[in-house]
Structure 1
């Protein structure tokens, strides 16, 4: 492990020198990327310093005990040895997890798409519940949420809502939410008190920059229309709504959230680029079937990942068999405890697949 830490330390020193170079500072994208790498490497280097100190303490204590010439020093050395050996496994485990190769997309912002599935009006209401859950969670994380497009349900909620989330390591956290979410409860319109099952699909796309995915604009047809729905005086009077048609794939992206046609176009292009980028990532995941099998965040849209059972006040994540009787808090944004368990499960699987890390 010391060898691996030393390799990380060498790279840390290189990055430390690079980020103060004028040409790097002037290149904003490169500077941000290197600064992020610096922070990630520093965590490992700092842990490595603690690890090395513990090993030195153990060696020193063992030497004093072996000498045995000073009874008081020997007793203190025994206490130091016991304390250092007790701390060592936790530090080793922390470093093992930190040394797992990170997904470069984990640091990205995301585009989240929530769509009502089976269940009619109740599915739309549930999609609205999920959007509010994520909004509150993101607010607690100090992440910003920006709606791109929405289609409201006839009885509340959304048939579809697309929104951007910006912050630190957003994709690395939110990717675990991709899949089919199922709700079991008595709808407000149900007169006989029967429990209905409805579903909504969540897609979490890493936001693709132009450097990640080059979009050929000759393949994109731009349609400008008037906005529809609530929105004030500009609705139905200006051609600010944007609909993009990506000819090769048949993908269609709409955006009418902003009054400015230019801003709507910018947002729509961001969503289209992210969708196309995610398609490429999906091909890579499919090619590496073993890796996909081990990842709880594979993002299989057809997979039922979580059930929210209102009569029992229960939330179950089916990927790891986790059941929590805390539905009220979870649906109000307290999902970190679920994500933490999913991260732990994924890291454990990745450790098994990366035994050569140590």
Structure 2
């Protein structure tokens, strides 16, 4: 581990030197690449420097024990050694975590797709609740949300919605939301007061840059149509909505959120790139993640990553067995405790593989 850490420090210091060179300063692309790499290494370098300082202090304290100390000073030094030993162990764990292979998509923006699944109208209403949850979470993080396409029901539910979230580390925080989300509650449409179980599916895709996924004009078919609202009624007499079909893969993307045909096409292309990037990534490395279809499942009630029980104000993440009795706060966007626990769980699993 320490050989790797020394190599990281050497690379970090080497980049610092390169960033002072005129030829680098005059090359915006190279300057941006090196600056980003240095920023990515910074936490590891600072933590390692802190670790080495703690080790130095610990050695000094142990040396003091060899001297002729009075009893009071001896106890003080032993206390310091105990404290420094704990700090050393903590920093070693942090350094192991920092040396784990980074998900190259963690810093990316995301495309999120939510669909009502099992449960009819109640599933659509829950999909709308999930959209609000992620909207509130994004607001807490000061991220930007932009709706790309949506299909609403007459009762205010969402059959399906596609939207982008732009913000630092969006994918790293939301990638664990992939899957079927189950709700247990008395639906607004239920007059008898019985608790129903429904599901909605969530797919989180890293947004791909144009340079990562090249789409040829000959490979797409673009159809223009009128936007529609709840119940399928036409809400726009001008043909501004856009549907793009990627002919080689059969992937179809629609966007009707903007009044401008050009803007709708731009948004639809963004979603298409994200879906193609995910498809190509999975094909290139089947072990990287489950496929998108596997990630969200069929939406069946028995397939779920998380359950939202409204009568008991309880939310349970089944992957890690975490249960919180504050569903009202979670539905208002307070997701960090769940996401932090999931991140720690999967990082711990990766550490065990390394060790």
Task: Please indicate, yes or no, whether the TM-score normalized by the shorter chain is above 0.5.
Answer: yes
Are 1:301 and 2:319 matched, yes or no?
no
What is the CA deviation profile of residues 61-111 of structure 1, one whole-angstrom value per residue up to 9, with x for unaligned ones?
222212x14548756543432221121111111111111110101111000
In angstroms, what is the RMSD of aligned CA positions? 2.4
Cα distance change on mapping 1:285 and 1:300 into 2, 3 Å: farther
Q: Secondary structure at the match of 1:85?
A: helix
Partner of 1:219: 219
Equivalent residues, number: 345
2:113 & 2:26 partners in 1: Cα distance? 35
Q: Secondary structure at the match of 1:106?
A: coil
Partner of 1:201: 201
Contact 2:9-2:45 at 8 Å conserved across structures: yes
1:255 & 1:87 partners in 2: Cα distance? 53
Contact 1:292-1:298 at 8 Å conserved across structures: no
Partner of 1:272: 272
Are 1:149 and 2:149 matched, yes or no?
yes
Contact 1:121-1:154 at 8 Å conserved across structures: no
Unaligned runs of 5+ in 2: 298-302
2:227 & 2:20 partners in 1: Cα distance? 48
2:28 & 2:256 partners in 1: Cα distance? 30
Contact 1:308-1:314 at 8 Å conserved across structures: yes
How far is the alpha carbon of 1:283 from its aligned partner?
2.6
Partner of 1:175: 175
Q: Secondary structure at the match of 1:105?
A: coil
Q: Secondary structure at the match of 1:187?
A: coil
- TM (norm. structure 1) is 0.89
Matches within 5 A, 1:44-59: 44-59=44-59
Partner of 1:125: 125
- TM (norm. structure 2) is 0.90
Matches within 5 A, 1:25-104: 31-66=31-66, 68-71=67-70, 77-104=77-104
What is the CA deviation profile of residues 210-267 of structure 1, one whole-angstrom value per residue up to 9, with x for unaligned ones?
222222221100112232338xxx9533332111011122211111111222111111
Contact 2:116-2:201 at 8 Å conserved across structures: yes
Matches within 5 A, 1:157-168: 157-168=157-168
Cα distance change on mapping 1:24 and 1:129 into 2, 3 Å: farther
